[in-house]
Amino acid sequence: MSARAALGAAGRDVFHNSWRLVPVNAALGAVLVAVAVLTAAVHAALVLAVLAGPLAAALVHCSVTLVRTGNVALTDALDGLRLHWRRGLQLGAAGTALVVFAVFAVRFYTRSSFGWPFVFLTVYLFVLLGIYAVVLATYAIAEPERPLRLAAREAAVLGARRPGATLLLGLALLFVNLAGVAAAVMPFLTLTVAYSFVAVAHFALPKESR
């Protein structure tokens, strides 16, 4: 599915299933906001972002279920949490490490006399790796019996085979979530993350599985 079609399909799915997705999105968003507030006071609190991994895995599970079956229930979130909490912790740890690396790199280069080109490069690579991470999470949750390394390879193959569409989708979803944060945070806390996962599931999952 093309990036534009995936965005449109996700919009329709979220519109019809918003009340089922909002509680999971809200739980994940609340954890992320709490971690951000704590990190502002104590930088070491950023490691608590790992705890968001299982909730993110549950939301990805709901998104995959919605894309595959056309329907999702609140119990799917509980099933996803039960089935994927270990993999969620793994993905959460990897995501937290990526954020820590990006923050330290940006802080280091902004203090350098000629560091601004490297700041731009760091942010650019962080966005690319963030897109890759969401696709990886989708594959990892959609096929939990497969080793994580195979899901990582499949995500890399998709990005290499469709680089333009993958980047377009990622930038569109980045804009949606930044807009959600800018709009008094509430859209981010309720829908935009779920919308992003559903869009990626439409884009990444094979046609025969949808």
* Number of neighbours of residue 61 by Cβ within 10 angstroms: 26
Outline where DSSP puts E strands in 13-91: none
Residue located via tokens 């899901």: 151
Nearest CA to 181 out of 11, 10, 29, 14 is that of 29
Question: Domain range holding 22?
Answer: 3-209
How far the first Cα of the chain sits from its last, in Å, is: 10
The span from the CA of 206 to the CA of 189, in Å, is: 29
In three-state secondary structure terms, 14 is: helix
pTM for this entry: 0.90
Predicted confidence pLDDT, tens digits, the chain (210 residues): 889 999 999 999 998 988 889 899 999 988 888 888 888 888 777 788 888 999 999 999 999 999 999 889 989 999 999 999 999 999 999 999 988 888 888 888 888 777 778 888 888 888 889 999 999 999 999 999 999 999 999 999 999 999 999 999 999 999 998 888 887 677 777 889 999 999 999 999 987 665
User: Quick one: pLDDT at residue 102?
Assistant: 87
Angle, nearest 10°, between helix axes 74-110 and 52-69? Answer: 130
Q: Rounded to whole angstroms, what are the CA distances from 90 to 87, 106, 160, 169, 200?
A: 5, 25, 24, 24, 20
User: Quick one: pLDDT at residue 5?
Assistant: 94
CB 58 within 8 A of CB 88: yes
CB 43 within 8 A of CB 209: no
Domain count, the chain: 1
